[in-house]
Amino acid sequence: MEPLFNNLRRVFKGGILTHREDRIEHSHDASIYEIIPEAVLEPKDTEDIQQLVSFVNEHKIDHPSLSITTRSAGTDMSGAAIGNSLVLNMTKYFSHIGGVSGTILHTQPGVFLRDIDPLLASHNLMLGSAPASRAISTIGGMVGNNAGGEQSLRFGNTERSVRELKVVFADGNEYTVKPLHKKELEKKMRQKNFEGSLYKEVYELIEKHYDLIHNARPHVNKNSMGYNLWSVWDREIGIFDMTRLITGSQGTLGIITDIKLEAVPKAPHTGLLLAYLTSFHQLGEIIPLVMKYKPATFEGFDDITFKLGIQHFRSFSKQLGIKEMLKQQAWLLGSVARFKGHLPNILLMIEFEGKTKAEVYRKIATLHDALKPFHLKMDVEGDEASSAPFWQIRRASLSLLRTRVKHTYASPFIDDMTVQPKYLPEFLPQLRRIIRKYKLPATLSGHFGDGNFHIVPLMNIESKRDQAKLEPVMREIIPLVLQYGGTMAGEHNDGMVRGPWLPAVFGDDMFALFKRTKEIFDPHYIFNPHKKTDASWEYSMDHIRTKNSGELIK
C-alpha cells in the first residue's frame, strides 16, 4: 500500500500515519471489536477530505478494499469507529468552535463536548441530547450516532436538534444540508448534478414507500437503528429535512465537516431525589409511577456500578479541586453507610427543575410522598453540587466497567434496548429470564424514563464459549423487544453489532429501503464498510477483540 500512500501525499496536506503503533491505537473503540487499519489520516481542512474522497473513487477499482471510516474520540460502542482501510481522525484539526448565536451552536465535528458545556452554560444553554460519555466524546460522534442522554426524556435524540450540516458526499464535493420547503426541494431536484440526484432519488424513494416507512418507525422516544427515513419528509407540513438522514448514519453516507445544533435553555435550579431499590422486581411498578410526575431526567445504575464509582471516584474526578472532591466522596460514603455494607440493587436518580429552589423542593416532596408505600430509602440532593458525584458515576459507568472489572470485559451487544415505559412491568421479567438462562452476569444502568436500558454483560469475550452465547441471546431478545414495539438501539446505533440484525428488526422490505438509501449516497461503498446495512454477523464475529488488544486500551 505504500506506493498508494505516496500518491495520496501529493494531494493530502494532513498527517498520514502508517506506523504500527498508530494503527493499533485506532484499531478499537468502545465496542467488542478490533480492526487494524492500513493508515490513519488527519485531515487539515475540508479540501483535504474532498481530495481524499476523489482519490478513493479514482483508485477503488484497482484497490477494492479502499474505503474511509470517519472517527473522532473513538467512544462508539457498536464498532462503527474502526475500519480496515483508511481511518479519518477528525479530532486534531476539525476542532474549531464557531460560537453561539442565539440558541444555535456552530462547531466542527472533532470538538469535545467537555469544551462545549462551559460555553453553552455561559449563555444559560445546554445540549438536549448530550450522551453520558460527554467527558470523552465529541460533537461529530454525537451527530453520527444520533446520540441521546439524560435530557432526551424531554428533548429526544440528536436528530431533533440538528439545524444544518456540511457534508462531503461520494462525488468529492461539500454540500450544505438543511431543511427545505417543498418549492426549495423541487428546485434542488432539478439540478443536473450529484446533489440534485440525491434529493430526487431520496424523495422518490420515500414518496413511493411512504406508508411502509412511517409504519416502520419504532414506537419509542429514542431510536438510532436503521436510517431515519421516517423523519425526512412529512407531507402534512411540507418540509424535507435531509439532516435527519445524515444524523445517525455513522459516516456511511458521507463525511460531516461542519455542524449547527440548537441548544436548549438550562434551568436555574435543579434537585435530585435518590431512591434506593433492594429488588429489580420493584422497577416495573415504580418507573410508570415516577413518570406521572414529569421529572426532567430519570436515570439510574446498579450496585456493581455504584461500588466501582465509590472505589475509583478519584480517578474520574481529576477536574475537581481536592477539597471539592473529598467533600463529594464523603457524600457518597455517607449514602453507602446507611446500608451497613450492603448496597442497594438499583439507585434511581430522579431530577426536577424549576425557576426557584422552592419550586424544585415542592416537586421532589410530592414524588417522595408518592413513593412511601414502597418503603424505599430515599435521599434528597437539593442542588447541582450535592448531586454531582452521582451524575459523575452514572456518566462514567461504562468506562468504570471497561477498566476496573478484573478477568471479564464489559461486552456491549444487548446494551441499548428501548421499549415504552408502560410495558416495563411485563417486559423486564421476561428479559431477565433470558439473561439468567444464558448465565450472563450483567450490569444495568440507563435512562429509565425513556425505557432505555444499558444492560452490559461482563464476559470473557475472547472465550469461544462466551462468544457462542452472542447469537442465541440476540435471537431470543429481538422478538421480545419487537413484541412491545421497541428497538434494539435507543442511542448507540447499529455499527457492526446490530447492523446484521436490521432485517430481523425491520423486516426484509424495510431493510431493502435502507440498503437502497446507502447505495443512493454511496454507490461504490467507499464510506465505512461493514457497518449498518453493509454489516454481516460473520465479519463481525471474525473481528472480536483479543486479550492483547484489550490490554492495549487500558
Residue 116 lies in a domain: yes
Domain count, the chain: 2
DSSP conformational letter for 160: G
Say yes or no: 220 and 252 in one domain: yes
Say yes or no: 141 and 228 in one domain: yes
For 478, the grid coordinates are: 429481538
Residue 214 lies in a domain: yes
Contact, 23 vs 17, CB < 8 A? yes
Q: Which domain range does residue 388 map to?
A: 269-404
Q: Which of 357, 386, 404 is the last residue of a domain?
A: 404
- Please name which of 545, 2, 499, 508 lies closest in space to residue 251, comparing C-alpha atoms: 499
CA dist 406 and 376 (Å) reads 32
Residue 530 has a pLDDT of 98
Mapped onto helix, strand or coil, the DSSP state of residue 128 is: coil
- pTM for the whole thing? 0.90
Residue 411 lies in a domain: no
Burial class (CB in 10 A: 0-12, 13-18, 19+), 23: middle
Residues of the chain with pLDDT under 70: 308-344, 383-387, 389, 391, 393-409, 547-554
Say yes or no: 253 and 130 in one domain: yes
- Please name which of 226, 229, 315 lies closest in space to residue 535, comparing C-alpha atoms: 226
CA dist 141 and 388 (Å) reads 25
Say yes or no: 224 and 298 in one domain: no
**346-354 and 269-277: which strand pairing?**
antiparallel
Say yes or no: 115 and 261 in one domain: yes
Residue 115 has a pLDDT of 96
Residue 323 has a pLDDT of 47
- Please name which of 438, 398, 417, 219 lies closest in space to residue 316, comparing C-alpha atoms: 398
For 148, the grid coordinates are: 441521546
- Please name which of 370, 392, 380 lies closest in space to residue 301, comparing C-alpha atoms: 392
Say yes or no: 253 and 105 in one domain: yes
Residue 521 lies in a domain: no
Say yes or no: 259 and 122 in one domain: yes
Say yes or no: 249 and 197 in one domain: yes
Tens-place pLDDT, residues 217-245: 999 999 999 999 999 999 999 999 999 99
Say yes or no: 181 and 325 in one domain: no
Q: Which of 241, 265, 289 is the last residue of a domain?
A: 265
Say yes or no: 286 and 400 in one domain: yes
The CATH number of whichever domain residue 231 belongs to comes to: 3.30.465.10
Residue 219 lies in a domain: yes
CA dist 200 and 152 (Å) reads 32
The CATH number of whichever domain residue 348 belongs to comes to: 3.30.70.2190
Contact, 225 vs 487, CB < 8 A? yes
Say yes or no: 117 and 222 in one domain: yes
Q: Which of 212, 241, 265 is the last residue of a domain?
A: 265
Residue 384 lies in a domain: yes
Say yes or no: 329 and 219 in one domain: no
